Structure 1
Amino acid sequence: MRRANRLLSVHLVLTLLFLYAPIMAMVVLSFNESGLPTTWSGLSLKWYKKLLSNGAILGPLLNTLIVAVAAALLSTVVGTMLALSVSKIRSSPLINGFLYMPMVIPDILLAVALLSFFALIGFPLGLPTVIIAHVVFCIAFVTAVVRTRLEGFDYSLVEASIDLGASRWRTFWRVMVPALLPGIIGGALLSFTLSFDEFVIASFTAGPSNTAQTLPMKIYSMLRFGITPDINALATVTIFTSFMLVLLAQRFNKTTI
């Protein structure tokens, strides 16, 4: 048994190294004075300073943040309402299939379908179409997370609140929302992450103009000429921010449950 535990520990360490070694290498290179992956010339913050003055990257980054925040907010509201609606009816494989289909459909198919739909109704492509497309993509994930939270919800609390004279609207805000809040926050964070990272759907629905270009689209276009070191700095800041958001979400869940 002791030998098996050691083997499992070694397997865990090797797996974590396999997953995070490239990320750690990128973080280290963001502080490299030379900016070359093959030469280390000392610690420096010049790539972070250069990032702050690089309008070619900050513009798409701002678009990405706008799209991610808007998609997270809208998909969280719609997905939570959808989860509450589905919880009132008897679950079936057909309903679950329709709800979770956007999660399993290849991104390229969903992107082509959304582009065809916008062209059919004559909706001009731009930042609004990217937001709508990301909301469509993220709703299923929010619904899945909130439905998982609803499985352990005690509906007798709702009946008790109504019996004590509270309206359904007041019961929803004072009883159901606090109980579902960890799932709602988890769905919002998941939607933000998925939208921030999404490339295929955004590239199809952004249109030919660069005004709606997102950060993943910009980085992909830069691959033809080579990634500049300030991209490593941007990725490091993004990873650190994501890590802090996960810690805050975990802290919030621990204090709420």
Structure 2
Amino acid sequence: MDLKMFTACLIMTVFLIKHSDAAITQWQGTQADGTAIPAFTAGADSDQTTAIELAEGTTGTLFTLTATADAGTVTYTFEGSGNPGSIADSTISSAGVVSLASGQSLDYESGTTSYIFKIIATSSSAATDTGTATLTLSITDRTLWTQTSYVACLSGTSMAAGASIGTYASTDATSTQTVAFTVTGGADQAKFAIDSSTGALTVAASNTLETTTKYVYIVELTATITGVLAEVTTVYVALACSSGAGQITALLGVLLMSVLPSLFC
């Protein structure tokens, strides 16, 4: 073999070796709350694994994964069984965002408390330049309210101590769990009391709600189960608020009247 032939063979060999290795060298990402995903454990052929936890009831973005490539841009797809139960949107954005699919939920009480996602990153430099990330998502139990906020639209202009505002209770507990309800915040929390077992909200002793003071009172309630993440909801108690078709109009009016003084003081 002459020198030219040897040189050509050497160059081809180096080229093949270089391009036979996966161009995906590293994975990284963030969880739904913006915190960094734990470092990936490297495996063969750029296959890497990690695990995260998300609270029950998380919506929207579940996590974001991006891959580092030797060259070119990277696109992302789920491996054949890498989107269990189609819990996530079937399409992963170019930024590596994985979102909860429409109509799906992370429900701890459903019995499925973890999902194993497998995502393939492909470099535009070569279709064979790929890497796979395996991410186990575990769901942590959380006490959920049926709504993140409520409006109590009351027709009266005054509510005396002991008057009922309504019952606000979590329906997410299992048969073996006991929920405790407490008043924990809000600008007017001192004016309210709640039954710790039923969630019945009333005007607290020695207090009254009057439109001469304000039209909208705000209180935050917390539902707690031992060993489970607590959850907070907000109740807006609106006085002189008509019912029926005029409810929304009246409520917007009283909210505006409540907010305006703080804007100009």
Q: Which one scores higher on RCO, CA 8 angstroms, separation ≥ 6?
A: 1
Structure of larger gyration radius: 2
TM superposition score normalised by structure 1: 0.24
TM superposition score normalised by structure 2: 0.24
Greater helix content:
1
Greater strand content:
2
